[in-house]
Structure formats: structure tokens, C-alpha cells
């Protein structure tokens, strides 16, 4: 709990996610107050947690989950997506003119399965 209010801990909730946490927290607080009982107490607790998450911009659960499942950067994902494809110079090199030589990888990228564009009228 101390990490939530520690100013040196980096924020990991930004933009619309933070706005939605504040709005959802306020909504849950209001519903919990009107409902009462055990269900209302649960809504109050969840609303308070969401409100603190949105106001501070820090979420311990999100930090723990992101550390256990790191996301690759967008550029790393693009590099990995096309890393198996041979370069144009490799495909047209004399090394691949012999019939017994295969291309390094012929995995389809999904674009090949698309239907052809409709003709213009």
C-alpha cells in the first residue's frame, strides 16, 4: 500500500484508463452508498480502490502483471514479424536458381488468403 502513495514510484496508469478509473470509482461509491448492506460495502471498497488508482496513476496489480508478462516494443514486434522473410536480393540470387535449393522460410503472412479486390466499374 505504501507504493501507491510513494512519489518516486513511476505511474503506470495513464490517459483514458485513469479517467475511466476515476469515473468508475465514483460510480461504484455512489451505488455502494445507496445500496447499503454487505453488497454496498463491497461496492464502496471497489469504488475506493478504483478512485485511488485513477487519482494516483499507480496500480500495484498492473505493475505485478506487467513484470511477469513483459510486452515487446512495437518496433521489436514488427522486426520479429518479418524476420523470417527472405530479402529480395536473397530470393533473386543465383543460389536459389537451382531446383534443389529451397527458400529459407515460406510461411504465409495471412495477406495471401485475402480475396482479390473487386474490379472497378
| Per-residue model confidence as pLDDT tens digits over 5-61 | 667 778 888 899 999 999 999 999 999 999 989 999 999 999 999 999 999 999 888
Residue 56 is assigned to a structural domain of this protein: yes
Please state the domain count of the chain. 1
Residue 49's pLDDT is 94
Rounded distance between C-alpha atoms, residue 3 and residue 9, angstroms: 7
Q: Is residue 118 in a domain?
A: no
Domain of 10, in residue numbers: 2-68
**Percentage, residues of the chain above pLDDT 90:** 34
Q: Which residue has the cell 472497378?
A: 120
Q: What is the pTM of this model?
A: 0.53
In whole angstroms, what is the distance from residue 58 CA to residue 112 CA? 43
Burial of residue 114 (number of CB atoms within 10 Å: 0-12, 13-18, 19+): exposed
CB 21 within 8 A of CB 61: no
Residue 21 lies in a domain: yes
Segment holding 26, helix H or strand E: helix 15-35
Long-range contacts of 111-119 (CB under 8 A, 24+ apart): none
Task: Report whether pLDDT(121) > 60.
Answer: no
Tell me, yes or no, whether 93 lies in a domain.
no
90 domain residue, yes or no = no
Inform me whether the pLDDT recorded for 85 exceeds 70.
Answer: no
pLDDT at 53: 92
Amino acid at each position: 500500500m505504501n507504493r501507491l502513495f510513494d512519489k518516486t514510484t513511476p505511474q503506470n496508469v495513464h490517459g483514458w484508463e485513469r479517467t475511466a478509473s476515476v469515473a468508475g470509482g465514483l460510480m461504484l461509491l455512489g451505488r455502494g452508498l445507496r445500496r447499503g448492506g454487505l453488497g454496498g460495502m463491497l461496492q464502496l471498497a471497489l469504488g475506493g480502490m478504483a478512485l485511488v488508482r485513477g487519482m494516483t496513476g499507480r496500480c500495484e496489480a498492473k505493475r505485478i502483471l506487467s513484470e511477469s508478462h513483459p510486452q515487446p516494443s512495437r518496433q521489436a514486434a514488427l522486426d520479429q514479424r518479418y524476420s523470417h522473410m527472405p530479402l529480395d536480393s536473397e530470393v533473386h540470387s543465383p543460389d536459389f536458381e537451382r531446383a534443389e535449393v529451397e527458400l529459407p522460410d515460406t510461411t504465409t503472412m495471412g495477406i495471401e488468403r485475402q480475396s482479390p479486390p473487386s474490379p472497378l466499374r
